[in-house]
Amino acid sequence: MQTGMSVYDFIIEKQADFPHATGDLSALLTSIQHAAKVISWQINQAGLGNIIGATGIDNIQGEAQQKLDLFANDKFKQSLAACGEVCGMASEEDDDYVAFEPVNGKTAKYVVLIDPLDGSSNIDVGVSVGTLFSIYHRVSPIGTPVTKADFLQPGRHQVAAGYIIYGSSTMLVYSTGQGVNGFTLDPSIGCFCLSYPNISIPQQGHIYSVNEGNYFKFPAGVKQYLKFCQAIDETDNRPYTSRYIGSLVADFHRNMLKGGIFLYPSGTNAPNGKLRLLYEGNPLAFIVEQAGGKATNGYQRILDLSPMELHQRTPFYIGSAHMVDKLGQLLVAFDS
């Protein structure tokens, strides 16, 4: 694939890899792009209008909703409902899933799960934020009302997944199960253009990303892994470098390109972990595996977990395969 190719041309060309493709998924991905462009523009205006700060309302997670959280959620909801390819959407910002009415009588076969604006509290200080999304085939009969079972699917059943990072540039990174490609938004033409073809994460990295302020609340195996990362070993290029932005998409994006591991363990204040399986864990796990990395909850592959509720949380370890494997070994050894 030629660097600089528009994402629209890329998607059309990639349809040839799927002999039975009807163009429905391509249209869905295009609707996500459209919403992302609007949100990117709005984020770039933060501070110039009344769009930053909290709304004074908590979401279902008990977290303060930011004005841009609601803006992004509404834009994706509007775009996905209008495209006609999606029968329902579940969002980190909504208590329950939302069913969409058919568009022009068309029966839709996809559902989308989305974190509209991850790390939105960082916008006030100019730190990168992002959107994460997962796409599944519905499991209920086409033409009937969408059900919760359509959304409570293991991550391995994802048809496509991706993220948008709003930073020094706006990037769309996604996979349909045929590798991972990244596209940078060219604001002069309003188009995402191929900039990172066939992304592959290094098997061994030298960056670890974790909020070490919670160190004393971490499981013993995680504490031991951090000591391993910080120990001097010239043959292994240790100590590793600590890099933590506090914005999941930004931390993951850096580690995928450079090699590293992101850790969000369980803790005394979050015994089941803090990150959401459906909105954060599954899409990034799908991406990282397509790029050659791994994602686990410490003991199980993230994509094999069976969700029981829409806002289920999980411990989350993701990144270079050798680093995730080493962490897993220490968790088993010290937490048994």
- Domains of the chain and any CATH numbers: 7-196 (3.30.540.10), 207-335 (3.40.190.80)
59 is in an annotated binding site: no
93 is in an annotated binding site: no
211 is in an annotated binding site: yes
155 is in an annotated binding site: no
305-294-93 Cα angle (round to 5): 55
- CA torsion sign for 312, 317, 318, 324 is negative
pLDDT at 55: 59
13 is in an annotated binding site: no
320 is in an annotated binding site: no
69 is in an annotated binding site: no
Rounded to 10 deg, the angle between the 220-230 and 321-335 helix axes is 130
119 is in an annotated binding site: yes
pLDDT at 62: 62
Name beta bridge partners: 196.
Answer: 182
121 is in an annotated binding site: yes
Successive 10-residue mean pLDDT values, the chain, 336 residues? 82 68 83 95 76 61 75 95 95 95 86 93 84 97 94 97 95 96 94 96 98 94 97 93 96 98 90 95 98 97 98 97 98 84
